[in-house]
Amino acid sequence: MSHQSAINDGLLRKVALSIGFLALAGSALVARGSPATGYEVSIYAMTPSAVWVGLMVAMAVALTIAFVPFGDGPRGGRPFAVVLGGLTMVVFAALPIIRGYRFQGHYDALTHLGWARGISEGTMSPFELFYPAIHVTTVFINSVTGIPLSRSLMFVVLVSMLVFCVFVPLCVGVITEDNRAAVIAAFAAFLLLPITTISMYLSAHAMSQAVFFSALLLFLFVKYVRSDQSLATVSAIGTAFSLVAVAAVVYHPQLVVHLIAAFVAICAVQFLARRIASEGTIAGQTPVYGHTVFLIGLFLLWSADHGFFGGMFEYFFSAAFDFFLGGSGSAGEQVATQGASLSEIGGSLGEIFLKLFSVHLVFSALVGGLILGLIFLRDSPWVDRIAAETTYFAVALIVLVPVAGAYFFAPGSSMYFRVFGLMMVFLTILGAVAIYGLTERLRSGRPAVAVSAGPLLAIGFTVLLVLSLVAIFPSPYTYNASPHVSETTMSGYETAFDSQDDEIDFLGLRDGPNRYDDAINGNEDRSWEHRDVQADEFRDGVSGQYEDDRYLALTQVDRDRELTVYDELRYTESELDAIENEPGVNRIQSNGEFDLYYVPGATEEV
């Protein structure tokens, strides 16, 4: 390659990167200039098209610079490409913040917001919570910056995603000892495979943030096992590993139970390797026996005052007992029920499965191939270099399968998807190693094939990123409504709770009033005093349905979810509109997105 050609190549990369960063900045500015004016049932549909075009251009430039050769010389600009891709993900994940959402997240997220409010106002101690990390961090951000609590909690979600996107490639870089593998792993991390919108969310949800945070623990684990055993007993990496283990317990002890299962399996591998293959790579690495015992001790100490053990075992044993006696409510029955509901609104389980898990299937196939390579290509120098950590993580994946199965027995539970989320951290790392191995094999082949590997990577990641990121935020595409909490909705509930008669409870759809009660009043214990209105009660008329008077809260969220997303599956438009015409029912508050009705009890004359 001539000197002039190298100059032109470098200039072309700089120009492309400049275009990418400008497109990204433009997207952020357009998004900032187009704030949400009310509840948005889909952030994808309501965000201006110019924002999506800019983000796609930025990511396309990042992929091109990272993987596509411009000439025969060394490929420059990769670090900037990874930074550009990472910043694109930041803008994507931060769209609810940039576009001025009051909050992002329903159900558990609103309860977490309430707990953060309780800690901030001093009505609740962090030690009263089983997993106070995200709440304490939220209060810290709020205290230091003055950003409202709701937005501070959204920043905590964003930071946890950044931890995942940073430490997955660092982990793969340590395993493979090659920066090219770290670049591949960065774009693999951008797929956000742990987020499935089923018990794992890109919103305030302690387990989701804890799973993202576990990438840091796995990075330190890989660094630790590769550390020199001849060093001092206490090392910086070992100390950092222990400190992050403490943080993991505070983030979510349930995650630590899953990690303990994984680390015990890894300890078993190390123990057997030292006795069966004492000359192998694994036998020469630093064991994690002490850190595993330390993690178990931390969990026992933290959970001792929270009744976790008794509740957990009672939960599992009663669930298994009900399952084997033919009890109802198992995961299989939930799937069948949801499948029937999807069919009624024009969807299917197969369709939703492909939308949510097609990328996971691709990575599962890659990891399956990698494990087969470990078994049948033992003489390969490349396999030998990555065999130890790949074996550890493969064993961890296998062990987590029965852990997920234990949750599968539980009636009314989808917590097996929490285990699945952690499995996806291991799968992302192993999948990136597998892709790196494939590209290295292509690079070592014929020159024409070696050149084509880069564009294939760029095109492949483009397809995977689109398939994955289009399902990250709940939307009608995946038969879900956005968890957007608008300023109008929140203020409507705030006014309703401030002015309510304490003797009158609220009614709502799908647990709405209870969660907003938590968010606004900072309840230490989850609110259960408000109840849902069932579909048959709507059809029969709510007036006189209840012994005592009630308030009925209906929001734009309810309307868009039931009428647009669920296609009137449970509640119809005519039934919702008929509420205000029922005898004795009066609308006492309205702000455009929140309507509050007074519903007389059965003992009151109407």
Question: Mind listing the pLDDT tens digit for each residue in 92-147?
Answer: 999 999 999 999 999 999 999 999 999 999 999 998 898 999 999 999 999 999 99
| pLDDT tier at 604, thresholds 50, 70, 90 | low
Give the DSSP letter string of 484-502. EE-HHHHHHHHHHHHH--T
Q: CB-based contacts of 396: which residues, under 8 Å, 6+ apart?
A: 262, 263, 265, 266, 426
Residue 311 pLDDT > 60, yes or no?
A: no
Q: CB-based contacts of 345: which residues, under 8 Å, 6+ apart?
A: 479, 566, 567, 569
Q: List beta partners, residue 599.
A: 550
Of 572 and 447, the one with more pLDDT: 572
Structure tokens at 180: 């090219």
| Residue 144 vs residues 139, 141, 148, 340: alpha-carbon distances, Å | 9, 5, 11, 49
| pLDDT tier at 510, thresholds 50, 70, 90 | confident
The mean pLDDT value of the chain amounts to 88
> Distance between CA atoms of 43 and 606, rounded to whole angstroms?
43
Structure tokens at 570: 């449970």
Q: CB-based contacts of 255: which residues, under 8 Å, 6+ apart?
A: 207, 210, 211, 214, 248, 418, 422
Per-residue pLDDT, averaged over 182-206, amounts to 96
**What pLDDT shows up at residue 606?**
45
Q: What are the respective helix, strand and coil percentages of the chain, to the nearest 5? A: 65, 5, 30
Region label for 146, one of left (φ > 0), alpha (ψ between -120 and 50) or beta (otherwise): left
**What pLDDT shows up at residue 511?**
76
**What pLDDT shows up at residue 376?**
86
Say how far residue 225 (Cα) sits from the centre of its chain.
28
Mean pLDDT lowest among 386-390, 402-406, 506-510, 560-564: 402-406
> Distance between CA atoms of 289 and 387, rounded to whole angstroms?
20
Q: Furthest-apart CA pair in the chain: how many Å?
A: 94
| pLDDT tier at 307, thresholds 50, 70, 90 | low
- Single-letter residue type at 364: S
Torsion sign across C-alpha atoms 80, 84, 89, 94: positive
pLDDT digits (tens, 9 = 90+) for 453-499: 788 999 999 999 999 999 999 999 999 999 999 999 999 999 999 99
Q: List beta partners, residue 597.
A: 552, 587
> Distance between CA atoms of 144 and 489, rounded to whole angstroms?
27
Burial of 314 (0-12, 13-18, 19+ CB in 10 A): exposed
Structure tokens at 505: 């409870």
Per-residue pLDDT, averaged over 144-158, amounts to 97
> Kind and range of the H or E element at 484?
strand 484-485
pLDDT digits (tens, 9 = 90+) for 225-273: 998 766 555 688 999 999 999 999 999 999 999 999 999 999 999 999 9
**What pLDDT shows up at residue 379?**
77
Q: CB-based contacts of 215: which residues, under 8 Å, 6+ apart?
A: 163, 164, 166, 167, 168, 171, 189, 425
* Angle formed by the axes of helices 236-251 and 289-303, nearest 10°: 30
**Rounded to the nearest 5°, which phi and psi values hold at 554?**
-125, 130
Residue 25 pLDDT > 60, yes or no?
A: yes
- Return the beta strands (E) in 58-115 as ranges: 103-104
**What pLDDT shows up at residue 487?**
96
Structure tokens at 347: 């969807």
pLDDT digits (tens, 9 = 90+) for 542-564: 888 888 899 999 999 999 999 99
Residue 449 pLDDT > 80, yes or no?
A: no
Percent of the chain residues past pLDDT 90, beyond the cut:
65
**pTM > 0.85: yes or no:** yes
Task: Give the count of beta carbons closer than 10 Å to the beta carbon of residue 144.
Answer: 9
**Which candidate, 257, 211, 265, 194, places its Cα nearest to that of 407?**
257
| pLDDT tier at 310, thresholds 50, 70, 90 | low
Mean pLDDT lowest among 17-31, 335-349, 419-433: 335-349
Of 569 and 96, the one with more pLDDT: 96
**What pLDDT shows up at residue 440?**
84
In the chain, DSSP finds a helix count (H) and a strand count (E) of: 24, 7
Question: Taking a C-beta distance cutoff of 8 angstroms, is the pair 200, 418 a contact?
Answer: yes
Mean pLDDT lowest among 81-85, 330-334, 510-514, 527-531: 330-334
Question: Taking a C-beta distance cutoff of 8 angstroms, is the pair 471, 42 a contact?
Answer: no
Q: List beta partners, residue 587.
A: 597
Of 151 and 325, the one with more pLDDT: 151
Structure tokens at 162: 């950044």
In eight-state DSSP terms, residue 72 is S
Q: CB-based contacts of 602: which residues, under 8 Å, 6+ apart?
A: 544, 545, 546, 547
